[in-house]
Amino acid sequence: MHDVAIVGGGPVGMLLAVLLAQEGRDVAAFEERDTISPRARAIGIHPPSVEALAEAGVEVPAHGRPIADGVAMADGRVLGAMPLAGVYALAQQHVERMLRARLATLAPGSLRLGRRVLGLHPVSGGHRLDVEGGAAASARLVVAADGLRSTIRELVGVPVVRRRGVAHYLMADVDGDALGDRALLAFEREGVVESFPLPGGRRRWVARVAPPMPEADFEALAAVVRARTGRVLDSPSPVSAFTAKQGLAARTVHFGSSDAAVVLIGDAAHEISPIGGQGLNLGWLEARALARVLTGGPGTRDALAAFEAERMRATRRAIAQAAFNTAMGRALSRSGHAARSLAIRSLGAPPLARHLADAFTMRTL
Ligand SMILES: Cc1cc2nc3c(=O)[nH]c(=O)nc-3n(C[C@H](O)[C@H](O)[C@H](O)COP(=O)(O)OP(=O)(O)OC[C@H]3O[C@@H](n4cnc5c(N)ncnc54)[C@H](O)[C@@H]3O)c2cc1C
């Protein structure tokens, strides 16, 4: 019987696997895909995650691009700037590759690719997992790091509570870097446009749209950015259209009829709007907190309950922050837009700017 079975070999499951393997725990991780998903997703790594990844031997500053500050603008005028020191831009796939390489060195063969977990059954002292292809494995503790549509969450019957913060966006990672190391948040009447530096002289551009534009192409995104900010994107790149939603699992530590726990982390535990870049960072902080609970054993009920309470508090704060960001980024009437610009001006001035920067860099989570 393994000490810990991790379902899902995404960035969150992999950080937990590495941290546990470093402590000499016997870990098995199951990932249904054969390769890392190429879909453009997280890029923003906040200071607490930089620390958590360093504990796992992954040095973000050596690979990522520092984001110096974030500038809020409207109608071509600067409303305020907040320091983002310690935040790095690095594609989540890059981090996933580094974590997998580290795990392969520490515990060769512990990540089983192309292995979808289909079932979960309590057995004496743990759980047995049914794995695609007729294989089975058992472990004292099972961790669901299997993403938004978590199979394990479904199997143990934990519902998701939906939260405010639905909005539609177009996004592309584009060559060209006129804005340097600054993030731009343009709060325009028709909706927000955001832009972040990426490694390799590129930038991510994200524009809020309403109604949703699922068929939109690069021209459509470039036209929205140009109309709202006057900035020209002239290097065609693949565009994704996505709808941001929010929700959290009703509980993240589940005992059921067994004495052995099933723990939900990462997107299996919460769906957080990508606007504000918090979902993956929260997941990494959960992986680190859980690894600490599991040092030296399967974790007592009290320690797991404390883990759950602390991380759910952080998740609720992150969801509230993302809901606020979503509300601030919507299209507004002329007077509403003027009032928003005024509000952002005061948020961007001392002493509020410092609190805002702490919230945006997740130092309070
Ligand atoms: C456009 C976009 C931009 C984003 N930007 C940011 C950002 O800047 N900062 C940030 O913090 N977050 C951001 N996020 C959120 C971030 O991408 C997710 O929070 C992150 O991927 C969650 O990692 P995870 O490991 O929990 O889940 P996932 O990345 O979804 O990994 C889950 C893994 O489990 C596997 N799996 C699923 N079911 C099974 C099964 N039954 N058996 C075996 N394997 C299974 C899947 O194949 C997958 O590899 C963004 C998201 C989007 C969509």
Report pLDDT digits (tens) over 22-50: 999 999 999 999 999 999 999 999 999 99
Helices and strands counted in the chain (H then E): 9, 17
Give, using CA atoms, the residue closest to atom 49 of ligand 1: 10
Judge whether 2-63+89-162+245-325 and 67-87+166-244+330-360 match in fold: no
Per-residue confidence band for 347, with pLDDT thresholds at 50, 70 and 90: confident
Give me the sheet containing 270-271, strands edge to edge: 44-45, 77-89, 65-74, 182-188, 191-198, 202-209, 160-175, 239-249, 270-271
Query: Which CATH number is associated with domain 67-87+166-244+330-360?
Result: 3.30.9.10
Residue 359 pLDDT class (50, 70, 90 cuts): low
Q: Is 145 in the pocket of ligand 1 (CB under 6 A)?
A: yes
Statement: residue 349 has pLDDT above 80: no
Confidence of residue 259 (pLDDT cuts 50, 70, 90): confident
Over residues 56-83, the pLDDT tens digits come to: 999 999 999 999 999 999 999 999 988 8
For 90, the 3-state DSSP assignment is coil
Residue having the nearest C-alpha atom to atom 30 of ligand 1: 147
| Residue bearing the CA closest to ligand 1, atom 4 | 42
Instruction: Spell out the alpha helix ranges (H) of the chain.
Output: 11-22, 47-55, 92-106, 151-155, 218-229, 279-293, 301-328, 334-347, 352-360
Task: Answer yes or no: is the C-beta of 64 below 6 A from any ligand 1 atom.
Answer: no
Query: Using CA positions, which residue lies closest to atom 14 of ligand 1?
Result: 42
**What is the chain's mean pLDDT, rounded?**
94
The DSSP symbol for 201 reads T
Which helix (H) or strand (E) element contains residue 197? Answer: strand 191-198
pTM of the full predicted structure? 0.96
CA 44 to centroid of ligand 1, rounded, Å: 14
Pocket of ligand 1 contains residue 58 by CB under 6 Å:
no
Q: Which CATH class is domain 2-63+89-162+245-325?
A: alpha beta
Give Dmax (Cα) for the chain: 65
Is the CB of 172 within 6 Å of ligand 1? Answer: no
Q: Is the pLDDT of residue 251 over 70?
A: yes
CA distances from 200 to 63, 152, 326 (A): 10, 38, 29
Tell me which amino acid residue 92 is: Q
297-344 pLDDT, tens digit each:
778 899 999 999 999 999 999 999 999 999 999 999 999 999 999 999
Atom of ligand 1 nearest to the CA of 132: 42
* Sequence spans of domains, the chain: 2-63+89-162+245-325, 67-87+166-244+330-360
Which 8-state DSSP code applies to residue 235? S
Whether the CB-CB separation of 258 and 127 falls below 8 Å is answered with yes
Number of the ligand 1 atom closest to the C-alpha atom of 269: 26
